[in-house]
């Protein structure tokens, strides 16, 4: 029996919060006086890219640990993290890993973390102090329970489907949860990816800016992906200061919007 994603017998409501939707340097950028960096619209203030998927009574899942993680967790009052999914090993997606020490303390143990092998290699190198087994007197280290992502898996019963993406020459992962898919930091979908995101109701896709870039979709390229996948609701993320919220949103087609920090989406996840 095949069940429509997110609407099967095991489907549960989930809430996705954008903890950040900015590019690696954030918006505003340090030392920039442009209209977007100086905008008073809160939707023009973008922390580094991350989402939080809350499935009440089931699982709370953080995607990536940005350099802004502490601020994001305080702003959105995130009190529990049952698992962390990493998309790839770039600094804007991993450098907040040390902040999980608070969750280790509150939850009394390591946090299950999921990443592909390349990302684990980067994490083990960048955060060597968390993996070397040395007992550091008085100094806590983030406690991590490492899981290799090689295919679909579950977090406390919530089904997670990794989606192969290309970020320039770097392979990396998007993630699908039921009727929702999060595809950040990419400029091409892997050959297998299209089938894996088929039928999603809500799509989040990288759209860095209008000018071409070697590792990120432009707005126009993202819109081509949006049209091909055909989700009902589509949100662009990982934007630079080139894309002011109000002006950019006004020129997007129906069903497509810029994400903004604090945006909450109601989704439907698959559970086992
Ligand atoms: Zn990034
Ligand atoms: Zn600027
Ligand atoms: Zn990246």
* DSSP-assigned states of every residue in 229-254: H--SEEEEESB-TTS-HHHHHHTSPT
Q: How many CA atoms lie within 13 A of 124 on its CB side?
A: 14
* Among the bound ligands, the one closest to the CA of 22: 1
| Tokens (6 digits) for 96 | 């907040």
Calpha distance 269→54 (Å, rounded) = 10
Element (H, E) at 265: strand 264-269
Q: Say which DSSP state 29 is in.
A: P
Q: How far is the CA of 24 from the centre of ligand 1 (A)?
A: 5
* Among the bound ligands, the one closest to the CA of 39: 2
**What are the per-10-residue average pLDDT scores of the chain (272 residues)?**
48 97 98 98 98 97 98 98 98 98 97 98 97 81 97 98 98 98 97 97 98 98 98 98 98 98 98 92
Calpha distance 46→37 (Å, rounded) = 10
* Among the bound ligands, the one closest to the CA of 168: 3
pLDDT at 133: 85
Residues with CB under 5 A from ligand 3 (ion): 90, 185
Q: How far is the CA of 56 from the centre of ligand 1 (A)?
A: 28
Distance of alpha carbon 214 from the chain centroid: 20
pLDDT at 3: 45
Q: Say which DSSP state 211 is in.
A: S
* Among the bound ligands, the one closest to the CA of 239: 1
pLDDT at 10: 59
Among the listed residues 24, 124, 114, the one whose alpha carbon sits nearest the alpha carbon of residue 66: 24
Residues with CB under 5 A from ligand 1 (ion): 92, 185
Element (H, E) at 74: helix 69-75
pLDDT at 138: 73
Number of other CB atoms surrounding residue 129 within 10 Å: 12
Q: Counting beta carbons within 10 angstroms of the beta carbon of residue 38, is it exposed (0 to 12), middle (13 to 18) or buried (19 or more)?
A: exposed
| Tokens (6 digits) for 49 | 């890219």
Q: How far is the CA of 215 from the centre of ligand 1 (A)?
A: 10
- Give the phi and the psi of residue 97 in degrees, each rounded to 5: -55, -35
Q: How far is the CA of 32 from the centre of ligand 3 (A)?
A: 22
| Tokens (6 digits) for 265 | 């989406």
- Whether 58 and 44 have beta carbons less than 8 Å apart is answered as no
pLDDT at 35: 98
């Amino acid at each position: 029996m095949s069940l429509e994603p997110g609407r099967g017998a095991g489907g549960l409501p989930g809430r996705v919060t954008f903890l950040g939707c900015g590019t690696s340097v954030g918006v505003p950028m340090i030392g920039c006086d442009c209209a977007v960096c100086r905008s008073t619209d809160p939707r023009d203030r973008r922390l580094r890219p991350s989402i939080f998927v809350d499935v009440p009574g089931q699982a709370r899942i953080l995607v990536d640990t940005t350099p802004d993680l502490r601020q994001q967790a305080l702003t959105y009052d995130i009190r529990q993290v049952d698992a962390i999914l990493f998309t790839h090993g770039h600094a804007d997606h991993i450098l907040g890993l040390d902040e999980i020490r608070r969750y280790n303390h509150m939850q009394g143990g390591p946090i299950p973390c999921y990443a592909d092998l390349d990302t684990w290699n980067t994490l083990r190198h960048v955060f060597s102090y968390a993996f070397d087994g040395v007992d550091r007197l008085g100094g806590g280290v983030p406690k991590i329970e490492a899981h290799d992502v090689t295919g679909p898996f579950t977090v406390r019963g919530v089904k997670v489907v990794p989606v192969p993406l290309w970020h320039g020459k770097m392979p990396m992962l998007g993630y699908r949860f039921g009727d929702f898919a999060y595809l950040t930091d990419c400029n091409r979908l892997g050959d297998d990816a299209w089938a894996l995101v088929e039928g999603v109701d809500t799509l989040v896709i990288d759209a860095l800016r209008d000018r071409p870039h070697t590792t990120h979709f432009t707005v126009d390229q993202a819109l081509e992906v949006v049209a091909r996948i055909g989700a009902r609701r589509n949100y662009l993320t990982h934007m630079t200061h080139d894309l002011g919220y109000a002006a950019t949103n006004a020129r997007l087609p129906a069903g497509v919007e810029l994400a903004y920090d604090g945006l909450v989406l109601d989704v439907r996840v698959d559970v086992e």
